[in-house]
Amino acid sequence: MTSHPEVEALAFFAEDLLEPDEERSVADHIETCAICATTIDELAGVTRVLADVPAPTMPQDVADLLDGRISEAVSERAAAERPTGGRDATRPAESDAPASVTPISRKRRGFGLPKLFMVAAASVFVIGAGTAVVGSLMSDEPDMGAASQLLEDTATEDAPDTARSYSAEGVASGTVYTEDGFTTQASAVLDQAGDDDSVGVQSEESATLPQGVRECVAHVEATTDSHVTLVDDARWEGPEGTDRAWALFTRNGEGVDVLVVDPVCARGGDLDSAVLAEGSL
Amino acid sequence: MEAAQELPDKELLSRHAQGDEQAFAVLVRRHRERLWAVAIRMMHDPEEASDALQDAFLSAFRPADRFRGESQVTTWLHRIVVNACHDRLRRRKVRPATPTEDETLDVISNERLGRTGGAPDHASQTESRLDVHAALEQLPLDQRMALTLVDMLGYRVDEAAEILEVATGTVKSRCARGRAKLLPSLAHLRNPGLPRDVTSGRGGANPS
């Protein structure tokens, strides 16, 4: 008997891909060769093994994330197409959209499309469907005082909807926050978030919204009755090494509070156990 | 939005192109489960699959990549998702796999099976899944993508050919080469009941 055909030739034979003469010789061979006949069965077995691998259904957080990204893209497109904001520039179709989003973005457009807005498009993820309000955190322009006030007022009125009524902005600063230095570090991140040169150099990778941030922000806001305006996807240096952590910035009157949390806070439950550090800037 | 839910895919896309703010989201919701199945099987990691889908949908959203009408909308969406996965897999090949991948797979498998106990078939199923993934990682991307579409997901060869933008013969030969390469690592996982009555010395579902 001639030597066995290559496994690949058998796989091609099974797919009818061989040239006629080659096909004939393989066919003749398997007539009398149980080993190669078995190999052909086993090749079909490979297909069965592959077909049997179950695929998990889409997790809800992924579905929510996709919805969020798309409505973000829709808002960006709407803003780009109507830069002067003739009518409500964000969501004209939804008259019941929360009011706190648009007044601020209009206001910001009023004094020249702010650099922060450009930063947001280039390197920052936005949580929720609205426009960025991070400016209210760090700006000392007099207009923003009014805007912040407005945000505050609206937000306290419809507290249950705060997670959706405006958006927090996020950065990935690469900071490794430490117990001793986190307030200083957080101040630096906050300053940097207002400076488009430094934030602008972030990689594309850092612009993706980490899973769980949205849930975590909602949990923190619900628990502490505060409004997270900026999230830094960073790290925390604990006793057992550094681990991923999120620094959540909230406005507190004239100042800013920072809360460094472990990503487990996305699961809800006792917030205190997820808080790594807490302080005022 | 009831009206939008019932519009055909192409109509949704043309409304989206004209500035409609809801149409694209309706289209995505309509197809995302199927596209997720593609992405999770290509990437094996939920977070990476999610990233790939985001890349894909944002790319489909943009006018530059807009649907041009030479194929079905679903084919076009699949192509964009497959390309997004391909890009990520190509980048991943450059850097070694992270150790967390195996843990993730265990988690998926536990969720999938709806139990946490250590039933023997659970353990072996997890193990076999890891074997499948490890084996697929060894294949050239072209073969892997063809096999994922045709063997894992059950797309017809002509559908896979359209998605991958190659000839049907190319899909078949990539699948054949891929199966031949996978055989040594997956032969032990094949279903015990072979259609033919020819079993090699290794076979034997009966321990007796």
Does B54 contact A at CB distance below 8 Å?
Answer: yes
Tokens representing residue A44 in the block: 């079909």
Whether residue A62 and residue B37 make contact (CB cut-off 8 A), yes or no, is no
pLDDT band at residue A212 using 50, 70 and 90 as cut-offs: confident
Helix (H) or strand (E) holding A270: none
Q: Is B185 on the interface with A (CB under 8 A)?
A: no
B151 contact residues in A (CB cutoff 8 A):
46-47, 50-51
Q: What is the dihedral of CA A198, A277, A259, A240, to 10 degrees?
A: 60
pLDDT at residue A34 in the model: 93
ipTM over 0.85: no
Q: What is the pLDDT of residue B47?
A: 93
What is the distance between the alpha carbons of residues A14 and B198, in angstroms, rounded to a whole number? 17
Which residues, 6+ apart, have CB-to-CB distance to A266 below 8 Å?
A211, A212, A213, A215, A216, A219
Give the residue among B157, B173, B144, B162 at the shortest CA–CA distance from A19. B173
Complete domains list, chain B, with CATH = 1-95 (1.10.1740.10)
What is the residue-averaged pLDDT of chain A?
Answer: 70
Contacts for B29 with CB less than 8 Å, ≥ 6 apart: A67
Residue B92 CA: distances (Å) to CA of A225, A244, B99, B101, B114: 41, 21, 13, 12, 30
pLDDT of amino acid A243? 85
Among candidates A15, A42, A211 on the partner chain, residue whose Cβ is nearest the Cβ of B183? A42
- Considering A79-88, A126-135, A191-200, B133-142, the range whose residues carry the highest mean pLDDT is B133-142
Contact at CB, B191 and A50, closer than 8 angstroms: no
**Which of A83-87, A227-231, B112-116 is predicted least confidently?**
B112-116
Mean pLDDT of A228-246: 84
* Mean pLDDT computed over A241-253: 85
Mean pLDDT along residues B179-204:
60
| Residue in B51, B183, B185, B196 to test binding to A, most A beta-carbons within 10 Å | B183
Give the per-residue pLDDT at B126. Answer: 59
* Nearest C-alpha in A relative to B192: A45
By C-alpha distance, the chain B residue nearest A14 is B176
Backbone phi and psi for residue A229, each to the nearest 5 degrees, phi listed first = -110, -20
Asked if A11's CB is within 8 angstroms of B132's CB, the reply is no
Digit-coded pLDDT (tens) for A96-142: 433 333 333 333 332 333 333 333 333 344 444 333 334 334 433 44
Q: Where are the alpha helices (DSSP H) in B44-191?
A: 46-61, 73-94, 100-113, 120-138, 141-147, 157-164, 168-186
Please give the average per-residue pLDDT across B34-59, as a whole number.
93
Query: How confident is the prediction for chain B on average, in pLDDT?
Result: 78
What whole-number distance in Å separates Cα of residue A109 and Cα of residue A180? 39
CA of A57 vs chain B CAs: smallest distance (Å): 7
- Determine the pLDDT at residue B107: 43
Over residues B83-129, the pLDDT tens digits come to 999 999 988 776 555 444 444 444 444 444 433 443 444 555 555 66
The DSSP symbol for A195 reads -
